[in-house]
Amino acid sequence: MTSTPLSPTPTAQSEALFARARAVTPGGVNSPVRAFRSVGGTPRFIREAHGAYLTDADGARYLDYIGSWGPMILGHDHPAVREAVAGALQGGTSFGAPSWREVELAELVTRLTGADKVRFTSSGTEATMSALRLARGFTSQHGTGRKFIVKFRGNYHGHADGLLVEAGSGLMTNAAGHLGTSAPSSAGVPEEYAALTLVCEYNDPAALDTLMELRGHEIAAVIFEPVVGNAGVLIPTPDFLAALHRVKEAGALLIADEVMTGFRLSLSGASGLLGIRPDLSCWGKIIGGGLPVGAYGGRADVMEFVSPQGPVYQAGTLSGNPLAMAAGLATLRALEADPDIYPRLESYTSRLAQGLKDAARDAGIPISVNQIGSMLTAFHQDAPHGSVGNYTQAARSDTAAFAAWFQAMLGQGIYWAPSQFESIFVSGAHTVSELDATLEAARHAYRSVSEGASS
């Protein structure tokens, strides 16, 4: 083979839209990873999406492995969700007063997750930000003044100031630092805010134990991704989960950020799957079925600290929005009504994992695959499969090789996550024939990377 077998898709319409967008929006996008900065090329402007496929402004069709970064677990334009939103639309789009769908979704979420009470927001960022304010308010009620929180390197919890510290994904740059130090990963975050966020390496139980021993009395909460998606997929070890539970002994609240994993890894999230017992959890993405929703909830005695019942203020003009609640309700009900969906997603995604391993090995391209349920990252590095466990190890990946592979996939109509440090998501709309087409494309793509490297 002398040249790449891949014919690039046309991008004239996307290019034109991107040029207009850049004139009026920073970087031309409303969320950074959409700009394709780490893989190069023109971001595709999407015209519509149905099932497992996206269609872009040039009419090219892509098999989608992003699912809007997680929410679209049923696939795009799912009939039940479309009908629920269309039905809600007949009754007006926002009331600024409570309404019945908020009650139904709260009942459903508490029943499925085991949380006693839940409060809805409009994004995952709001949910984690509010949960941390609540944790500080709750743990300081006896005058102990716990100001600090702990997070883990490479975990992303949205873009609230105090959480933009060693924060993964698009922010995975050359962050230095060691136990307990915190450097803002964004301009505009005062060092004073960042200083209240202590950082540990993920999957390092000894470091967490040491930090809690030294500073436990000052720490309001430990927030973590129960399976990390935002540094690529990282899976927690049992020892690390045990150390997380020990933080409660120091009086800190344990906050599971299930914005990505909630209703994705099981009906009771990563916590249900892995036996985690957090004091509070945060949700987003799937809970809104593709509309803007977040939520936080957990122990009744803690949640009762939220206004208007308690002294910790939190509000939202569009919180509990009827269209968003309708989409969330329809999505969670469809998941609950299909007991086979989680085993199917797991078996399809592990089939994808195995196929990628085989294809990369045959082409002589080193990859290390982490997969759990419908989440998967293939790190371009030669660590054994399943062994990448923290940010430092993930960051060893060959991002140039990933970018070349990504472009080769895109050129064949497969829309993978445009960053090495993201999970891909398989949806209920993917079938075996989509998986086979993906693996066929992946074989070509690994071969073209290998030829590119040797020429």
Ligand X SMILES: *Cc1c(COP(=O)(O)O)cnc(C)c1O
For ligand X, the binding residues (CB under 6 A) are 123-125, 128, 156-158, 225, 229-230, 257, 259-260, 284, 294
Reduced to 3 states (helix: H, G, I; strand: E, B; else coil), residue 56 is: strand
Nearest distance in Å: CB 99, ligand X: 22
Distance from C-alpha of 380 to C-alpha of 361, rounded to nearest angstrom: 12
Nearest distance in Å: CB 292, ligand X: 7
Nearest distance in Å: CB 133, ligand X: 15
Which lies closer to ligand X via its Cβ, residue 216 or residue 229? 229
Cα 430 from chain centroid (whole Å) = 19
Which lies closer to ligand X via its Cβ, residue 291 or residue 341? 291
Nearest distance in Å: CB 196, ligand X: 19
Which lies closer to ligand X via its Cβ, residue 163 or residue 303? 163
The string of DSSP codes covering 399-422 is HHHHHHHHHHHHHTTEE--SSTTS
CA distances from 314 to 98, 127, 306, 319 (A): 16, 10, 7, 11
Catalytic residue among 257, 279, 348, 446: 257
148 and 177 Cβ atoms separated by less than 8 Å: no
Q: Known catalytic residue: 151? A: no
Catalytic residue among 285, 348, 391, 398: 285
The string of DSSP codes covering 281-323 is EEE-GGGGBTBS-EEEEE-HHHHTTBTTTSSB----TTTT-HH
The string of DSSP codes covering 251-264 is TPEEEEE-TTTTTT
Q: Known catalytic residue: 156? A: yes
Q: Known catalytic residue: 202? A: no
Reduced to 3 states (helix: H, G, I; strand: E, B; else coil), residue 393 is: helix
Nearest distance in Å: CB 388, ligand X: 18
CA distances from 444 to 6, 55, 362 (A): 8, 22, 11
Give the up-direction half-sphere exposure of residue 347: CA atoms within 13 A in the CB hemisphere. Answer: 7
| Residues found in the chain | 455
Say which amino acid occupies 136: R
Which lies closer to ligand X via its Cβ, residue 170 or residue 205? 170
Which lies closer to ligand X via its Cβ, residue 122 or residue 371? 122
Nearest distance in Å: CB 78, ligand X: 20
Closest-approach residue to ligand X (CB): 124
Which lies closer to ligand X via its Cβ, residue 69 or residue 416? 69
Catalytic residue among 65, 156, 296, 391: 156
CA distances from 159 to 37, 134, 317 (A): 19, 17, 19
Catalytic residues: 156, 257, 285
